[in-house]
Structure 1
Amino acid sequence: MCYQHWMRLGAILAFPTLILGCEAPEETPVQGLEPPVADRIEHWVDGATTPRLDEYYWIRDDSRSNPKVLALLEAENAYGSKLMAASQALQQRLFEEITTRLPPEDDSVPVQIGDFHYYRAYEAGLEYPIYRRFKNERALDEEVVLDVNQLAKSHDYYAVGNWVIAPNEDLVAYAEDTVSRRIYTIRIQSIKSGAVLDDRIEGAAPSIAWSGDGQYVFYIKKNPETLLEQAVFRHRLGTDQSQDELVYQEVDNTFSLWLEESRSRHFVFIHASSTDSNEILAIPRDQPLASPTPLLARRDQLEYRVRHVGDTFYFLTNLKAPNYQLMSVTQTRAGDISAWEELIAFRPAVYIEDFEIFDDFIVLKELEAGRPRLHLYDHQGQFLQAIPVKDQPATLDLAANPQSAAQTVRYELSSLKTPDSTLSYTPKSDEVRILKQAEIGGGFDPERYESHYLTFKARDGVDVPISLVYRNRDDFMGPRPTYAYAYGAYGYATDPYFRSSIVSLLDRGFLFAIIHVRGGQELGRQWYEQGRLLNKRNTFNDFIDGSRYLAAEGWSDPDNIFAAGGSAGGLLMGVIANEAPDLYQGVIAHVPFVDVVTTMLDDRIPLTTSEYREWGDPREPEAYAYMLSYSPYDQVKAQDYPHLFVTTGLYDSQVQYFEPVKWVSRLRRLKTDRNDLVLDIDMRSGHSGPSGRFERYQKTALEYAFILERIQAR
C-alpha cells in the first residue's frame, strides 16, 4: 500500500530523510497481549446538583503506597512496554537523533550581578548544569557557584528550583527538590569554601530573598496538604527553622504567594496573585524586621507589575486598560492611585506583555495581531524606535537586564526554524549583536525548513491563528502527516519557538502546527477571557476547527493528524478525543487534567482553590453543569477512539497521577475500537518528567515512536 505517491512508510519509521517507494512494512500485532483491567468499586461524589458515580475513585492514594494501586500502575507500565517493545530500535534511533542535536558542552551568556558575571554551563556527558561566575576574566578567576551534578548524585530525581546570591557575594541560598512534588528544601552554601551551612529550611516554595545585611532569608512555606504558597517566613542565619518568624499570612485561598528582590535591590517584594487579581507588598531590604506594606491594595480584577528605579515606581497595569498601560508614580505615593501618571496609554489593538526600565529609555514587549515586537520609548512615553526582527512567526522576549544604567538591551529570539539566540541592541547606534545562538548538531540547516503564520475562521466567525513549520523539499509533496499542538489556558501564550526534538518528525515529512486557541493570550487579554470559565468551550472548538482547516486546505493529511497537549492542554486532548475522535489518527495527552469536576470539588487537592477563576467553582450549579459537560473523564462513552498515548508521573503535584490513570481505566472499559492505548507512568518523577538534560528525551523518543508506528498508509 502506498502512502501518497512520494512517501514510503518504512522510510518514515527508519530514516530522518524520506526516500521514494510504495511498500509499507507488515504490521506485527502483539499476540495475546491484554491491557490491565482496573477494579470497579462503587463510590459516589457529591456535586452541586446530583451525585456522580466514580467507580475508579479508589485509585487515588495520597500516600502513594497502597499495594493495589501500585500494582495497577506497574501493570500499566508493563503492558505499555510490551506493546512498544518492537519499536525499541526506532526509539533508540530517535533518542540518538534528538540528543545529537544538543551540544555536548554549552554555556549561557554571562550576566553581571554585583561584582560578578554569572552563567550556566553544561559539560560533556553530564546531565545537570554547573553554575559558574567570574569577576574579570573567565579563564583567570572563575568560581563554581553550584554544581548540580554533584548535588544530584544520590537522587533519582533532582532539581534546583532557584538560587539567590547573598549581599556579601559569598553565600548562595538554593532550593532543591528531590521528589518532583515541587516541595523544596532551602540550603545555604559558601561559594569560596564550598561549605554547606547547617541551616535547613524544609517544605518551602522555590522563591527566596535576602535581607540587605545578609543576616536573614525570606521564604514561603507550603501548605503540606494543598501545597498552596500562603505564608512568608523570615529565617535568621544560624538558627533552627522552628525559630523562624511569620512575616505575612495570605488568608484568601484563591491567592498564592511568591517572592523576589526588586531590581533596584532596595525591596523584598511579596507577590500575592490569583487568576485575575494581584497585590504586591514591600519590605525595605535595609529594614528586614519591618512589616510588609502593600504598594497598592488589591482590588477585584486589578493586576499590576512593578519596577523600582530611583525614587519612582513604574506600574504595568490593566487599570482601565484590558491590554495594559504603563504608569509611574513617586515612591512615597505608590498607594494613591490618583497620583499615578500615564506614560504609555492603553491601545485596544496592542497588548503590552512585558517591560523594562532603563535610565535613558523604556522597552516594551508588545503584541499586535499576534506578532511580538520590542519598542523603545523615552521617559515621557514618546516612541523612539523598534528593535528590528526579521524572522516571523517568532518568539521574542526580554532577557536578563539587571542594570538600569546599561546602554544596551538584551533580548532573546527564536522561531520554529531558527534556534534560540541571545542578542543585544544598542539604541544609539541602532546596532544588533548576536551574543549567542544555540548550536544544533546532526547537520541541522534552517534553510531546509519553511514556516508560516495563517489564520482560519472558527465556527463562531472568530479568526484564529496557526503557526506551522515543515521541511521544504521537492520530493515532499501533498498533504503531510501532522503533529498539531495547543495549550490554551491561564493566559499563557504558546509561542512559536525552536524545538530541536520536533526536527525528527519534520525530517520524516511531518508538519508541526501550533493552533493558537483561545485561553492563551496571543491576541491580547480578550483572547484569554474568551477561553476560560463559561467560555472554555471556545478552546476546544478552536482546536477541532483548526485541525479541519489544515486538512481542508491541503496542509495536513486528514488520515494522519496527531494531536498533542499537556497539563491543561491535556484537558484539551481529552475533550477532542471524546468529541471529534474520527478527526485524529492519534492523541498524545501528557500529564492531562482530565477529571475536572471531581478535582475542583475537592479543596484538599493541591491548587484547587487557586483555580476557581480559571475553570469555575463547581459548587455553583451553572459552573458545575458547564464543567461536567466537557470533563473528559465524565464524558468518556462507548465509541471508537483514536490511538492514545498518555503520560503521568507518580509524584505530580500539579495534576495528580490518579486523574490520567482513572481516565485510562474508564477508556479501556468503554471504548469500542481496537486502537492502541498506552499509559506511561514515570514512577520517579512528577509534572515535568525526568530531571536530567538528556534522560528526558527517552520519553520524547517513546512518544515519537508511538506516532510513527501508527501512521496510516494509503
Structure 2
Amino acid sequence: MRRTLLAGVALAVATGAGAQEAPVAAKKPFAVKAPAGVRNDEYYWLRDDTRKNPEMLAYLQAENAYADAKLASLKPLEETLFKETVSHIKQDDSSVPYLKNGYWYQTRFDTGANYPIVERRKGDRDAPAHVMFDQPEMAKGHSFFALSDWAVSPDNRMVAYAEDVVGRRQYTVKVKDLSTGKLLADTITNAEPNVVWANDNRTILYVAKDPTTLRGYKVMAHTLGTPVAQDRMLYEEKDDTFQMGIGRTSDDRFVCVVVQSTVSDEQRCAPAATPAALQTLAPRKRDLRYQADHMDGRWIMRTNLRAKNYTLMTVADGAAKQGTAAWQDLTPASDAVFIEGFKPFKGYVAIDQREGGNRMIRLLDAAGKSLPVKADEPAYRMALDVNEEPASDWVRYTYGSLVTPTTTYEVNARTGERRVLKVAPVPGYDPANYVTERVWASARDGTKVPVSVVYRKDVKRDGTAPLFQYAYGSYGNSMDPAVDPGRIGLLDRGVVYALAHIRGGQEMGRQWYDDGHLLNKKNSFTDFIDVTRYLVAQKYAAKDRVAAMGGSAGGLLMGAVANMAPEDYKVIVAQVPFVDVVTTMLDASIPLTTFEYDEWGNPAQKQYYDYMLSYSPYDQVAAKNYPAMYVGTGLWDSQVQYYEPAKWVAKLRDKKTDSNPLLFRVNMEAGHGGKSGRFERYRQNAEWGAFVLQQLGVVE
C-alpha cells in the first residue's frame, strides 16, 4: 500500500491484494468568528458554493471510491434487499381518484417506471383518461427530476407546474395548454414549488426565491403571454426569519399569502377574482400562530391564541377586519388534545388531531357535536386525505400503522358510516405475521416517551434480537407509524424496529416540542438514548446489536448520540445530517439559517452560542471509540449543505480511536432527498441496509 497526495487530499491507492485505506482530508487553519468567540475550523476549505473546486471534488470522489471498496463484498446482499423491497411494491399501482371542478384526477405507475403518470377524466370516473403529465417521458435526459406542484386553471384549460431537474429546490414554473398538450412560452425560474391561479385564467401567482439564500421572499403575479420581467409584485417579506406560501381557500373564494416563522404567523388574503389588495387577517405578533380557511361566509382559524395545543376559532366575514378581538371559540382548548390541522366543509369541519401520541380524526358539526373516527390498534396514524368537494358529506382520510398498510377510507359526516376505498397493496406481505406495540420509555428526567415498536411474531423477547431505532425530533414534526416496503426485509430477518417519538416533535402536544428545542434541545438526544436503554432492558434487543438512524435534523440527532453514548450503538446511519450547527447558524447566507433562530437559537447571542457548541456534533468530535457509521449526503443539497457531513467525516477520521468502518456516500447528482424516482431511493437504502445487517451480525 502506498499513499499519495492529490490536490491537497491524502488518498490511498490499493496495490496488490491490499485493501483501500480511508481518504485523509488536508487540514487548513480557518478562523470562524462570532461575537461570542472564535473557533479554528481546519476543514472549512471543503465548502465550495460553486461545487467546482477540484480539490474538494477529489476528496468527495475519494470517499465514494473508499465506500465502494468497503461495500463491495456486500453487493450480493444489497441486491437481494433491493429485489425484496421491489417485490413488495405493486409496480403498476394507481392512486384513488378524486373529484375537483368536474374532473377526476389520478396518478398511476407503469411497471418498472420510476415516475408516475398524472391523468384526469371528465365528468365520470370511467371516462377516457387524458394524460396531463407523462413524468417518465419528462424525466428522460435528467439525472434528477421532480414535479413538485401543479395547479389547473379555473376553466380547466391550462395547468401550471413547478419542476426541478437539479435537486437544489430552485424550481422552474411552466404552463401547458391541456387541450393541445403544448407548452406555452411562459417560463419562470428560481421559484418555490407553489403555484396558484387567479379567477381570470390568465394570472399565475408564484413565490420568487432569493438567489443567494434561496428563501422565498416575493409573491409575484405573472400574466400569460407577457415577459416575466414585467411580473407584478404583490407582496415582499423583508424579515428573513419568515418563509411564505400561497394557496386558495377551500371554497375557492380567496387567494391567501401565508407568512410563517417558528413562533409567529401572518395571513394576507384577497378575492381570487381580483388578487391585488391583500388584507391581513391578524397582524403578526410573537407567539401568535394561526392558519385560516374560509367556508360558509366565515373564516375558521387553527390558532394557539389562549390555547397552547391549538384550538379552532371562527369569525364572520363582516367582523374579520377587527382581528383577533372578534375571533370566537369553535372548539375548547385542551391540555390532552393537540390540533394538527382541519378541513372545512359545508355544514361541518373535519379535524386532524393528536392524543396519547396517536394521530386521529374527528368531525365537528354545526351544532358542536363531535364524531370521533375510531381505530383498533395501539399505535397508528390517521390523516386527512384529498378533499376537494366541500359540499360532500363524505370525508376522505388515510389510516395505517407499523403493521397495517395505508388504507384510504371515507366516512360520512352525518351517519358515521365508513367505506374502504383502497388498501395500499404490499405484495408478499402478510400483516398477520407481525405485531405492533406502543411502549412508554422512562427518560432520565422521569418523562414517559412513547415508542412505536414492530417485529415478527416469532421473534423472542429474550434480549438477543437486533434492534433498528429511528427518530427525528425537531421543528415540531411528528413521526407517524406506517408500513414501509424497505423495512420488511429487516423485520423478516428478525430485526426489531422502533420509532422513538422523542421530544422536539409534537406527538404529545406543543409542550413536547418546547421541551425539545432551543435551550432544551439536549432532551431530544437523551430521550433517544434512554429509549434505546429501555428497549434493551426490556429484552426487545441485545445491547451489542443496536442500530440507529436519522436524517437531516435527525442526522444531528445521530451525531449527538454518537458523541454522547457511542457505546450504546453498534452502527449508526446519518443521512444528510445537520452536524455543523454553530458555523451554519452563524451564516445568514445559507438557506434556512435565518428561518431557524427560534428553533436552535441565534449563536450571535452567547447563551445560545455556548449551548449549541456544547452539543454540535462537529465541534464535539473527540478522540474516542465510535460505532460503525454510514453517512450520506447530496452534492446539491440546499437544506443541509454537503460540506457539513464532509467536514464531520473528515474530523471523525482524524480523531476517532477505533477501527470500526466509517463510510461516506456522496450522491454527486442529487439534493436533500437523494436521487429522484421511487426505485432509486430503495436502491440507496439497500446499500446502507446491507451495511447495517452486516454490523448487527445478521448474515444470509
Query: Hey, what does 2:160 align to over in structure 1?
Result: 173
Structure 2 Cα separation of the partners of residues 372 and 249 of structure 1: 36
Other structure's SS at 1:543 match:
helix
Tell me by how many angstroms 1:712 deviates: 4.3
State which of 77, 99, 113 in structure 2 corresponds to 1:126: 113
Query: Hey, what does 1:541 align to over in structure 2?
Result: 526
Tell me by how many angstroms 1:141 deviates: 2.5
Query: Hey, what does 2:558 align to over in structure 1?
Result: 573
Structure 2 Cα separation of the partners of residues 284 and 360 of structure 1: 22
Asked whether the equivalents of residues 157 and 179 of structure 2 are also in contact (C-alpha less than 8 Å), the reply is yes
Tell me whether 1:414 sits opposite 2:380 in the alignment.
no
Asked whether the equivalents of residues 343 and 380 of structure 1 are also in contact (C-alpha less than 8 Å), the reply is no
Tell me whether 1:398 sits opposite 2:387 in the alignment.
no
Tell me whether 1:561 sits opposite 2:546 in the alignment.
yes
Tell me by how many angstroms 1:476 deviates: 8.1
Tell me whether 1:711 sits opposite 2:696 in the alignment.
yes
Tell me whether 1:320 sits opposite 2:320 in the alignment.
no
1:178-233: CA deviation from partner (whole Å, max 9, x where unpaired): 10000000000012211000000001001111011111101011011101111111
Amino acid in structure 1 at the alignment position of 2:464: P
1:261-316: CA deviation from partner (whole Å, max 9, x where unpaired): 1111111110100011111111211113x221211111111111112012110111
Structure 2 Cα separation of the partners of residues 113 and 201 of structure 1: 26
Q: So what's the TM-score if we normalise by structure 1?
A: 0.94
Tell me by how many angstroms 1:111 deviates: 1.0
Structure 1 residue runs of 5 or longer lacking an equivalent are: 1-29
1:310-330: CA deviation from partner (whole Å, max 9, x where unpaired): 211011110010001111111
Query: Hey, what does 1:346 align to over in structure 2?
Result: 333
Amino acid in structure 1 at the alignment position of 2:430: D
Other structure's SS at 2:321 match:
coil
Structure 2 Cα separation of the partners of residues 106 and 706 of structure 1: 30
Structure 2 Cα separation of the partners of residues 140 and 252 of structure 1: 49
Other structure's SS at 2:37 match:
coil
State which of 186, 194, 197 in structure 1 corresponds to 2:184: 197
Q: 1:342 to 1:530 in 2, by over 3 A?
A: same
Amino acid in structure 2 at the alignment position of 1:605: I
Other structure's SS at 1:678 match:
strand
Tell me whether 1:439 sits opposite 2:454 in the alignment.
no
Structure 1 Cα separation of the partners of residues 162 and 344 of structure 2: 29
Other structure's SS at 1:559 match:
coil
Q: 1:335 to 1:539 in 2, by over 3 A?
A: farther
Tell me whether 1:639 sits opposite 2:621 in the alignment.
no
Structure 2 Cα separation of the partners of residues 101 and 31 of structure 1: 39
List aligned pairs for 1:115-194, cutoff 5 A.
Answer: 115-194=102-181
Amino acid in structure 1 at the alignment position of 2:313: M
1:65-94: CA deviation from partner (whole Å, max 9, x where unpaired): 011110001000000000000111111111
Query: Hey, what does 1:47 align to over in structure 2?
Result: 34
List aligned pairs for 1:261-660, cutoff 5 A.
Answer: 261-288=248-275, 290-336=276-322, 337-383=324-370, 385-441=371-427, 443-473=428-458, 478-660=463-645
Larger CA deviation: 650-659 vs 125-134: 125-134
Q: So what's the TM-score if we normalise by structure 2?
A: 0.96
1:520-562: CA deviation from partner (whole Å, max 9, x where unpaired): 0000000000000000010001001111111111011111100
Q: 1:475 to 1:490 in 2, by over 3 A?
A: closer
Other structure's SS at 1:180 match:
coil
Asked whether the equivalents of residues 343 and 350 of structure 2 are also in contact (C-alpha less than 8 Å), the reply is yes
Other structure's SS at 2:180 match:
coil
Tell me by how many angstroms 1:138 deviates: 4.3
Other structure's SS at 1:321 match:
coil
Q: 1:137 to 1:311 in 2, by over 3 A?
A: closer
Structure 2 Cα separation of the partners of residues 594 and 478 of structure 1: 32
Amino acid in structure 1 at the alignment position of 2:554: G
Across the aligned residues of Structure 1 and Structure 2, the Cα RMSD in angstroms comes to 1.5
Amino acid in structure 2 at the alignment position of 1:527: W
Query: Hey, what does 2:99 align to over in structure 1?
Result: 112
Tell me whether 1:78 sits opposite 2:75 in the alignment.
no
Tell me by how many angstroms 1:500 deviates: 1.7
Tell me by how many angstroms 1:381 deviates: 2.5
Tell me by how many angstroms 1:710 deviates: 1.1
Structure 2 residue runs of 5 or longer lacking an equivalent are: 1-16
Structure 1 Cα separation of the partners of residues 697 and 681 of structure 2: 28
Count residues with an aligned counterpart: 683
Asked whether the equivalents of residues 493 and 698 of structure 2 are also in contact (C-alpha less than 8 Å), the reply is no
Larger CA deviation: 692-701 vs 354-363: 354-363
Amino acid in structure 1 at the alignment position of 2:220: F
Tell me by how many angstroms 1:136 deviates: 3.3
List aligned pairs for 1:31-42, cutoff 5 A.
Answer: 31-42=18-29
Tell me by how many angstroms 1:382 deviates: 3.0
Other structure's SS at 1:633 match:
coil
Amino acid in structure 2 at the alignment position of 1:428: R
Other structure's SS at 1:558 match:
coil
Asked whether the equivalents of residues 476 and 509 of structure 1 are also in contact (C-alpha less than 8 Å), the reply is no
Other structure's SS at 1:521 match:
coil
Structure 2 Cα separation of the partners of residues 361 and 31 of structure 1: 70
Q: 1:157 to 1:712 in 2, by over 3 A?
A: same
